[in-house]
């Protein structure tokens, strides 16, 4: 075709019509085409786009967190002691709140409560004496721990004490009761024939929550409790004492609260937030508050109390590694027979103001769905590990989320960050806030990630979480790098799997059940919000000490972490990545990353394991007609419902233009954990309401599955009325079966 042509049309009427028709057809076709493109553009709006963007932001989040920054946060918040209720802990709260706002959170608020705390009397120090027959104090325990180098000028270091101890100066003979567990007291009474009524018991720390030791001692009739750290339980083999290593020095001692609050939070306002106008019970009406003096000592002091004790030599598993014979008493031997032990305890209970810091990122699409990252800020002294290793991680997570916000990202759901107060006094800050916001949390909370101490060992990752989060934890740790030296290119998952294989179960790293002893308690066990915690830990198989050696002592400093636990701060970064990744995925995934099939699997295993516990009494099971059939049938129904639910998920309409079907199934996912909550509570523990998970009544730290049945079976041995005790087992099986059945029902199509 050349550049110029001449077209001649002789337009007759017909051809003009054709010409018009052609135009009309073309324009109409274009309009129609445009219409459909417009319609469907509106329809498929950014669904897949969202997904890949979301993946990109996850990567940025994980890579954005910096070891150096974490180190700096930790340094900054461990300069001074910041016990709950003190001025300094309020200062840190204000600083955290201010920085969170600077990082870019939408809102930050300071939320105060007035709760019952407990402090030593500043003018009358607590100590324990050995007194001779004339009443003279021939030995006194130390009034404080030797202050670590570099902190000599620091004031306001609270000396070791047992919070919520009764006041008093009981005097009497000592009895040694090993770890003070139910079985230890039972062995003492039944096998060794020793009654501790009117005695002062000396118990070593370890194995169970110290509050349970005190409860057991009270029930047995003791008039005082001395808690000591034995090197067997608080020193690692081949490690030097702090500051040359991370073992507990002989002058160090473990502070801690000794009150079994069983989920009540502030003991004066159980069930309600401790606000200014809240009605407070009289102290004498507080259930379970210790009514005997309790005091903790280090092993240097413990030697003096133990070395002259008389009485029987106990079995080997009652012996620690001090150079004493661990005789059980009562009282001293030989020349020392007339000596007694006197406790001098002047600790006061006191209603005190505490402060939580609550920050938020508003959700873009579902502002009424909450994902919570919470950890405490209050520390016994500096809190080098507990809790500031966790708080530093939270700070870095908030900083990095702030960076994403600046880039224009906003999560689908609302994220809430919390710096809790007074955790060390019985999870009070977190529990009061949960009580204050119970209705909203119950209706809106998708998940809670706990952020207490981020490290307690140098070996590998440790995760405790609800079964529905297992899959997310595994997926996520595959996207995070191992922090261990020499493991470049190895994922955290592989590194963890290699070190802590779940050999007796499945080919995956170990994930444990949630117990209690940290701030997730009210969220998980009372309110039924899916929860998880993650930290770096020791080698469970080879390192037999309890917790970590300097736990709750003055030696929990910045240097402890910087020199020994995580000099590169890569382990803390890895923990930050796990915690942040969980929050991100819970807040951002279109479909909630909760795996109901995994819950079904776990329920099956728990049912198996609880029936095995019962089957230790085969004759009684027959005699009292104890059957687990209803429980197994409920678990079966649950599993079918979970499988069907999962199948429906596959065909779910996930177009963003029609969000209702996704919201409906997400609500089913969110409320599944809630379905295990029984408003009646577990027997005698109205605030422990999770029928599948709670600590046993005998050790707050350990999470048990089917805790109602577990406790009822535990009590069989000690019950005076066996028939009645088995009735209680049957009652608890029935409740568990109903609850699992009802939970399964919530997964069926809603109508």
Footprint on residues 624-643 left by a copy of itself (CB under 8 A)? 629-630, 633
Say if residues 517 and 376 touch (Cβ distance below 8 Å): no
Indicate which single residue of 75, 272, 624, 632 sits in contact with a copy of itself (rule: CB under 8 A). 272
Residues between 687 and 706 with contacts to a copy of itself, criterion CB under 8 A? 689
Indicate which single residue of 365, 403, 640, 702 sits in contact with a copy of itself (rule: CB under 8 A). 365
Phi, psi for 461 (deg, rounded to 5): -75, 150
Q: Is 368 a catalytic residue?
A: no
Question: 118 pairs with which residues across the strands?
Answer: 349
Indicate which single residue of 20, 39, 98, 591 sits in contact with a copy of itself (rule: CB under 8 A). 39
CA 62 to chain centre: 22
Question: What are the b/e assignments for 407-441, b being 16+ CB within 10 Å?
Answer: eebbbbbbbbbbbbbbbbbbbbbbbbbbbbbbeeb
Q: Strand 366-376 vs strand 445-450: parallel, antiparallel, or unpaired?
A: parallel
Residue 35 contacts a copy of itself per CB under 8 A? yes
Residue 31 contacts a copy of itself per CB under 8 A? yes
- Min dist CB 360 to a copy of itself, Å, is 6
Can you give 372-423 as a three-state secondary structure string?
Answer: EEEEECCCCCCCCCCCHHHHHHHHHHHHHHHHHHHCCCCCCEEEEEEEECCH
Indicate which single residue of 82, 213, 295, 360 sits in contact with a copy of itself (rule: CB under 8 A). 360
Question: 462 pairs with which residues across the strands?
Answer: 535
Only one of the segments 47-55, 166-174, 286-294, 658-666 lies at the binding site for a copy of itself (rule: CB under 8 A); that segment is: 658-666
Indicate which single residue of 18, 21, 27, 49 sits in contact with a copy of itself (rule: CB under 8 A). 27
Residue 20 contacts a copy of itself per CB under 8 A? no
Measure the N-to-C terminal CA separation of the chain; round to a whole number of Å. Answer: 69
Reference 665, options 682, 686, 681, 651; nearest CA is 651
CA distances in angstroms from 147 to 77, 89, 538, 560, listed in the order given:
18, 20, 26, 14
The DSSP secondary-structure symbol of 590 reads: S
- Alpha-carbon distance of 151 to 71, in angstroms, equals 19
CA distances in angstroms from 172 to 290, 340, 725, listed in the order given:
19, 5, 36
Residue 745 contacts a copy of itself per CB under 8 A? yes
The DSSP secondary-structure symbol of 698 reads: T
Q: Is 423 a catalytic residue?
A: yes
Catalytic residue among 627, 656, 719, 727: 627
Catalytic residue among 173, 423, 435, 673: 423
Indicate which single residue of 150, 198, 271, 684 sits in contact with a copy of itself (rule: CB under 8 A). 271
Indicate which single residue of 52, 136, 238, 277 sits in contact with a copy of itself (rule: CB under 8 A). 277
Residues with Cβ within 8 Å of 263's Cβ and at least 6 positions away in sequence, in order, are 431, 516, 521, 522, 525, 526, 685, 687, 688
Q: Is 690 a catalytic residue?
A: yes
Per-residue binder mask for a copy of itself (CB under 8 A), 397-416, x = binder: -----------------x--
Residue 13 contacts a copy of itself per CB under 8 A? yes
Q: Is 627 a catalytic residue?
A: yes
Only one of the segments 60-68, 559-567, 603-611, 727-735 lies at the binding site for a copy of itself (rule: CB under 8 A); that segment is: 727-735
Per-residue binder mask for a copy of itself (CB under 8 A), 84-113, x = binder: ----------------------x-------
Catalytic residue among 295, 552, 617, 690: 690
Only one of the segments 29-37, 133-141, 298-306, 506-514 lies at the binding site for a copy of itself (rule: CB under 8 A); that segment is: 29-37
Residue 134 contacts a copy of itself per CB under 8 A? no
Could you list the active site residues? Answer: 423, 627, 667, 690
């Amino acid at each position: 075709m050349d550049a110029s042509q001449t077209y001649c049309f002789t337009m007759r009427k017909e051809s003009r019509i054709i010409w018009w028709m052609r135009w009309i057809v073309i324009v109409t076709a274009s309009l129609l085409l445009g219409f459909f493109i417009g319609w469907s553009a509106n329809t498929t709006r950014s669904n897949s786009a969202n997904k890949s963007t979301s993946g990109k932001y996850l990567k940025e989040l994980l890579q954005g967190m910096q070891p150096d920054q974490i180190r700096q946060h930790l340094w900054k918040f461990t300069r001074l002691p910041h016990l709950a209720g003190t001025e300094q802990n309020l200062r840190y709260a204000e600083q955290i709140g201010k920085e969170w706002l600077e990082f870019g959170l939408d809102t930050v608020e300071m939320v105060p409560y007035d709760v019952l705390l407990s402090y030593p009397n500043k003018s009358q120090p607590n100590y324990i004496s050995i007194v001779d027959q004339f009443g003279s104090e021939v030995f006194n325990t130390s009034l404080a721990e030797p202050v670590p180098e570099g902190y000599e000028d620091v004031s306001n270091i609270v000396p070791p004490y047992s919070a919520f101890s009764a006041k008093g100066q009981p005097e009497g003979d000592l009895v040694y009761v090993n770890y003070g567990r139910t079985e230890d007291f039972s062995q003492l009474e039944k096998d060794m024939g020793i009654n501790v009524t009117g005695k002062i018991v000396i118990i070593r720390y370890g194995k169970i929550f110290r509050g349970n030791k005190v409860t057991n001692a009270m029930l047995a009739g003791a008039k005082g409790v001395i808690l000591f750290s034995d090197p067997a339980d608080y020193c690692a083999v081949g490690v030097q004492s702090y500051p040359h290593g991370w073992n507990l020095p002989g002058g160090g001692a473990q502070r801690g609260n000794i009150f079994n609050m069983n989920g009540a939070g502030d003991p004066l306002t159980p069930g309600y937030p401790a606000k200014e106008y809240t009605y407070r019970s009289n102290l004498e009406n507080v259930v379970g508050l210790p009514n005997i003096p309790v005091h903790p000592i280090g092993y240097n002091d413990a030697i003096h109390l133990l070395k002259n004790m008389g009485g029987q030599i106990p079995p080997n598993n009652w012996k620690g590694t001090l150079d004493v014979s661990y005789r059980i008493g009562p009282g001293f031997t030989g020349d020392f027979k007339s000596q007694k032990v006197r406790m001098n305890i002047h600790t006061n209970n006191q209603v005190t103001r505490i402060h939580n810091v609550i920050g938020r990122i508003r959700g873009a699409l579902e502002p009424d769905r909450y994902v919570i990252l919470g950890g405490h800020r209050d520390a016994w002294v500096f809190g080098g590990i507990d809790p500031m290793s966790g708080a530093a991680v939270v700070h870095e997570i908030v900083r990095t989320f702030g960076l994403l916000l600046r880039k224009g990202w906003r999560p689908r759901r609302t994220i809430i960050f919390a710096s809790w107060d007074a955790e060390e006094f019985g999870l009070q800050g977190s529990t009061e806030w949960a009580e204050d916001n119970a209705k909203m949390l119950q209706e809106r909370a998708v998940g809670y990630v706990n952020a207490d101490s981020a490290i307690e060992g140098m070996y590998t990752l440790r995760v405790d979480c609800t079964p529905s989060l297992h899959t997310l934890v595994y997926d996520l740790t595959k996207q995070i790098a191992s922090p261990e030296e020499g493991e470049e290119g190895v994922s955290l998952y592989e590194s963890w799997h290699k070190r802590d294989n779940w050999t007796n179960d499945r080919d995956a790293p170990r994930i444990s059940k949630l117990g209690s002893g940290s701030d997730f308690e009210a969220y998980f066990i009372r309110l039924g919000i899916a929860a998880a915690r993650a930290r770096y830990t020791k080698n469970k198989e080879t390192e037999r000490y309890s917790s970590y050696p300097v736990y709750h002592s003055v030696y929990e400093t910045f240097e402890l972490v910087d020199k020994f636990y995580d000099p590169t701060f890569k382990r803390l970064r890895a923990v930050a990545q796990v915690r942040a990744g969980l929050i991100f995925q819970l807040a951002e995934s279109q479909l909630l990353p909760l795996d109901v099939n995994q819950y079904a699997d776990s329920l099956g295993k728990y049912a198996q394991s609880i029936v095995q516990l019962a089957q230790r009494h085969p004759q009684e099971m027959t005699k009292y007609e104890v059957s687990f059939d209803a429980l197994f049938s409920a678990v079966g129904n649950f599993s079918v419902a979970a499988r069907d639910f999962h199948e429906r998920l596959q065909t779910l309409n996930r177009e963003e233009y029609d969000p209702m079907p996704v919201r409906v199934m997400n609500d089913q996912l969110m409320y599944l954990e809630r379905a295990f909550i029984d408003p009646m509570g577990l027997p005698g523990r109205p605030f422990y309401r999770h029928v599948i998970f709670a600590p046993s009544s005998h050790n707050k730290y350990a999470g048990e599955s089917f805790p109602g049945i577990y406790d009822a079976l535990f009590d069989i041995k000690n019950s005076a009325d066996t028939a009645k005790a088995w009735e209680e087992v049957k009652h608890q099986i029935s409740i568990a079966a109903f609850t699992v059945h009802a939970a399964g029902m919530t997964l069926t199509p809603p109508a």
